[in-house]
Structure 1
Amino acid sequence: MRITMIGSGYVGLVSGACFADFGHDVICVDKDETKIAALEAGRMPIFEPGLEQLVAVNVAAGRLTFTTDLASAVAGADAIFIAVGTPSRRGDGHADLSYVFAATEEIAAAVTGPTVVVTKSTVPVGTGDRVEAILREQRPDMAIAVVSNPEFLREGAAIGDFKRPDRIVIGTEDETAQAVMRGVYRPLYLNESPILFVSRRTSELIKYAANAFLATKITFINEIADLCEAVGADVQDVSRGIGLDNRIGKKFLHAGPGYGGSCFPKDTLALLKTAEDYQSPVHIVEAVVKVNDSRKRAMGRKVIAALTGEGGSVDDVRGKTVALLGLTFKPNTDDMRDAPSLAIATALADAGVTVRGFDPEGMEAARAMMPDLTYCRDAYEAAEGADAVVIVTEWDAFRALDFARLKTVMAAPVLVDLRNVYNRGQIEAAGFAYTAVGR
């Protein structure tokens, strides 16, 4: 099949490369000439394990190409995917759909025959209706079906998620469009990946409901972690104890500094706005957003408390140095959007602390968002002269640190483990003061 992917960002590039790997002919479109030139030269705009090789293989095979010319890419396509950004709109938190509608306008002007337009971007309920209205108004002569097909890709594991999905959600009641989408996903259907056909509005809501539920699990266990600290319990044991109940499940029950990234923060806000628009409040999600925001700021206070010790004050940390290990919102990505490190670094800087940082992949993105940090080549350079080391992101590179070496370069042996990577006994035996989350 001939597939056009409008948008060559995270979702568009991963999806396009995977579709090409299925054997389809895929054209990825983007207005950014620099990005397209880089992709044609084999340079990826994002870090995602396995993506560079996947793109290279399919470009070499002639199944994957890149262009800035949307009109030529759209002409004759069997399916046109819209995978542009839908960031939170300033002021009200609603998803900014301007890129979606702009792409729709261009598609309407360029299509040359019957086709299926698929919203891959995460969009609020009813967006597909508006996309369809634009297409019908501008091209009443053309049979164009509009389908919702949300993505469920985890950054750092996106290729595996695409090729071995839990489910494929397709929102359309048009039989012709269903047949096209079955053809698009035929390799996965043969592998018995479940395809769920629902109405378009249901499909749009499934994406938001899924992300809101996962954000809720994270926020729930973070609040339980605080309670564990207060009563003298261990949140990791609590997580195991409840996660073994298959009605609950063990995933997304790891206590930490709060969720971030490109999806959960904006999608929970967009869901709240949709609920407000339809006068059907979702109070649980409201609480999740509020608690998560305060959680990140609380982690800054947690680090300050570890620096001052019992009975100390915020004034005691002025002039001290802290090393942040891991800056991205999660490992195996270079995504800094809404990363907990942003709030933690701000809280420390406001208290007069000098902040040093290192991240295996996120340094360039971090520099753009936190220009005042001192950036280091590795964990040990970051720890030089530090009064505390803080594990913010659980990269594998931080799971086997040499604590004897750290102790020789640090001003004070203090470890704040915001991801519960280490065991208290092990770290205290190495001569460090140890602070964890919920333990």
Structure 2
Amino acid sequence: MAGKRLLLGITGGIAAYKSAELVRLLKKAGCEVRVVMTPGAEAFVAPLTFQALSGEPVRTSLLDPEAEAGMGHIELAKWADQVLVAPASADFLARLAHGLADDLLATVCCATEAPIAVAPAMNQAMWKNHRTQRNLALLSEDPQISVWGPDQGDQACGDTGPGRMLEPEALADRVLAQPEPQTGSVLAGKRVVITAGPTREPIDPVRYISNHSSGKMGYALAEAAARAGAVVVLVSGPVTLPVPRGVEMRPVQTATDMLAAASQAVDEGCDIFIATAAVADYRPKATAGDKIKKNSEAMALELVRNPDTLATIAARPDAPFTVGFAAETRDVERYATDKMQRKKLDMIVANDVSVPGLGFNSDQNAVSVFWPEGRADIGPASKQAIAGRLVALIAQHCEQGVNE
């Protein structure tokens, strides 16, 4: 990442103090960092802090006669390879969503052609507010903008819930895990189909069978594959994540829906199929037309087997390079390699979801990757960092298979 030019925007919020550590981590990794602060950010941390850490002057005003004599906001917009706004306040998200250019940071975001990532940070009630969610929906439709986070947990105001800015280490990992698309890459022009998230199998109109999958690993892989130059189709169960920039998303609900959508995407052309989705193994034999009433102390629910999307794709005569995922709670290697052999996969990625803080609903993970001739262990690290390494590993083995 040496020489990558990152423009860090800092808006008003107590999380601004974490941005100092983010600058330090990015500089340590070899990035060039320049900082733009809003007036609200200056109320929390002095610009001199970021000047000392970045080694660059900190810009704070659009109406700075000295800087703007040379059209400084345009120079910053052209200089950046990546723009990251962390923390991004509810106010800034609203202004960015509506294309306002009423301060230096918003003006740079309007003028730049670089990818923009925002790391929201606000009170949980502000995050849940329908106006904020409406602005986020607008941002998710913008192919230039990615939304990173927020996290959940204790907040400075005493509340608990979603709205915490991702930790500096996680944000740095995301920046460093995003290589620029390379036309010479083995994934340039390749078609990659990825399944992600859980499925929901209805019991009645208000209840369903599902699991704890958040979709974060699959979405991180989709983003990494797109950044590596692939044409990516993401078949996703119900999650609350923004669609990665440059990725085509096809939403599904049930396991049957997922098989149909994945098969159609492969029919349209597929070089690599990556199945990260946590597909329900069983579904109710019958779905009640009305809500089932609580009339007895016990209730029996008859289940039937769902179709196996991964095995079905791997068994096709025109099967692409197929990668499975295995979430296990014990004997990870044994169960994963058995699954790889039974389903005739080219590669399988396994993780122990019983480890606290890793796997389901976490931003961190640690995986073991198996293929017929070997294995590799990746992590613990952020799911974005792991996704970048997995995409490189998959591309390497896919290329070897083509050349053999």
- Measured against the shorter chain, the TM-score band is under 0.3
What is the TM-score normalised by the length of structure 2?
0.28
Tell me which protein shows more helix as a share of its residues. 1
